[in-house]
A and B are shown apart, each in its own frame.
Chain A
């Protein structure tokens, strides 16, 4: 590969772990293509990266520590990075921040001033909030990735949180065309937005042998137990199947704060014995569940794109998903799986029943098209190529 000599400061909240393979793959890929990557993390934990890692601030809530760190930071601003500090302060004032707010932002952002990089790339939208003027200060180009929650829910939770960001000159990375459209609707120029879908490890998630179908329909979902995943609607759909005497078993892989709610929902709907909550599992076990399942369900209310659905398709599961944002680009309705309007349990139940009754040859056809498409369009290699384009052409 050609040596590009570009450097990228990638800002994340914490070191990407198992569920964020997306970022991990990206960093490895970039490094092997000659990019220098510096990782800025809000929280530093155990990590497997070879690249340089910097903690964004040393505030930790301890009064003594925080006071010392504030004084140190102010000292740095005044005597070590006076030029950058003045520039950042002026930009902040111009953006409408008060003297004290600008000072606060200065203290929080001064760690970035020591680095000369070509790109300052924020791993998700909310990470750029409060840091809108850093790139301009250090003479870097700015990029922001929007991944889903930050795109659809943060603006509801924090109205106006991206107002300043959207006024800046930067490049946007989004996961789906529907997110791109949404940004355009918010006034962002189409040529500054690039859609790069997530990628999965297509070597790991590849099907060797599918177990023979059993008499009990095996259904599975891989999701945090969070309300955006629409599991309440899913369970209601399954209660309809139950009332039609369809034999099924449903496994939910994942943990979260909605477990109590979902357990009680399953109980009240009379399907407690037909639903297993197996918790969060390592990838090997996830793979084995996918191998043994007939239909994968992702009936989310809100979804950026969803890696789990890519993995399920790669493993030859028949996928029934909702039409929440990126999902209808992830699964092509009637071609690689089925897309059902969200929040309609009756429609979901009907679709699951329909799919389970398809002929084996039809099922096989869908599976093959899906597996083929995932291998062709969602590999890590293919994604790295897109990111190199992303950084090269601005």
Chain B
């Protein structure tokens, strides 16, 4: 069943629910900015198509184009707009819900931040009162715990850095999580690994639902032959941030070069990073390792398709989207065993895993990859494709998140 068909079925289901008095939910998907990241926009789209009403709050930072069912209450980033926006909600609340307004005002006053800005952020949420307020970036949680006082349920996503290392490197964030997580109504985790990390800060295991990210798999159907490159082509895709571990991959390249292994390594998104540029220069890898700027996914797709291996040298991840994309494109993946990567990749079956921060192991794995016969490679990429089809469809994501919301509403 394709995604569209599924949605139709789901829509029918929603209508049935409505008839049996199970109302569609009003859900605020909150990331602070409208529009948000690709991943979050995909989620919004999926939820709206399934018949729920999506409320968007926050600052407007770009062009909008939402389907029916998505209600946009974001504010433009200029003073006059914000002033009128605030006046609008102040009057509505003052006229129709004065008690609630007083209660919220008292609460906001206790915060040290600028009161007017807080009101711009919070009044619309109080006025529209969604059933569920779903926070994408956990670091912002303490600003929104108040919604529970007005009968709104709070759901928090565990997406990546906010759970993986922020609470370790910034102890105050860890303390804030420990204070608020026990009162949160539901959690969405992008992997089992990150769910486990969330429990370290007091998230109730029973309130966490692991929902894997959904990919638009139809656009990832290139059906190309396994590349037959004389020079072994490796590629990584992602911004030049330390968490991506590119320095380890470049150190591994040095080992490859010392063994006279012919290869080419491209880091899409690494251009302009002085640490990487210096390392390439320092290790004499200018002919083998190339840094490229950011590219639209259409182009990246072709790069991945032509590569012998997609390398994910990260030290930490939720589940890296680029790995899922490579698997869907039938390119072999060599990934570090970080975060939830081992929930997608089974070493030797549908891809390869190596320990984090270990250039020697990475080089070894690359030597090994080169020796694998084509038929075996074919089996591996076929299994990889099956894994993402089964585990990372948009359908299972929308279904999973809706299930989480319904469960949350029942508590």
Contacts and interface: CB of A to CB of B under 8 A. Distances in A.
B251 interface: yes
B168 interface: yes
A232 to B, nearest CB: 7
Interface in B148-176: 165, 168-170
Interface string A322-361: 0000000000000000000001000000000000000000
A267 B169 CA distance: 9
Given A264-B316, A268-B356, A301 B278 contact: yes
B321 interface: no
Contact of B169 (A153, A228, A260): A260
Contact of B242 (A236, A261, A301): A261
A153 B357 contact: no
B375 interface: no
Contacts of A228: 278
Contacts of A152: 278
Contact of B275 (A227, A259, A268): A227
A236 B316 CA distance: 16
A153 B169 CA distance: 29
Contacts of B170: 260
Interface in A258-274: 258-261, 263-265, 267-269
Contacts, number: 46
Nearest to B166: A260
Interface residues of B, number: 21
Contacts of A259: 169
Given A258-B242, A260-B169, A153 B316 contact: no
A343 B247 CA distance: 10
A302 interface: yes
Please report whether the interface of chain B is mostly helix, strand, loop or mixed according to DSSP.
helix
Interface string B242-254: 1100010001001
Nearest to B171: A263
Contacts of A153: 274, 278
Contacts of B315: 264-265, 268
Contact of B168 (A157, A232, A263): A263
B282 interface: yes
A302 B274 CA distance: 12
Please report whether the interface of chain A is mostly helix, strand, loop or mixed according to DSSP.
helix
A152 B168 CA distance: 34
Nearest to B275: A227
Given A261-B242, A264-B169, A267-B168, A236 B357 contact: yes
B181 to A, nearest CB: 20
A114 interface: no
Interface in B275-323: 275, 277-279, 281-283, 315-316
Nearest to A344: B251
A302 B277 CA distance: 13
A268 B282 CA distance: 27
A158 B316 CA distance: 31
A156 B271 CA distance: 12
Contacts of A157: 274, 277
A343 B316 CA distance: 21
B357 A269 contact: yes
B277 A156 contact: yes
- Top 3 nearest A-B pairs (CB, nearest first) are A261-B242, A263-B169, A260-B169
Given A157-B274, A260-B169, A264-B315, 9 more contacts: A156-B274, A156-B277, A156-B281, A227-B275, A261-B243, A264-B169, A265-B315, A269-B357, A343-B254
Interface of B: 165, 168-170, 242-243, 247, 251, 254, 274-275, 277-279, 281-283, 315-316, 356-357
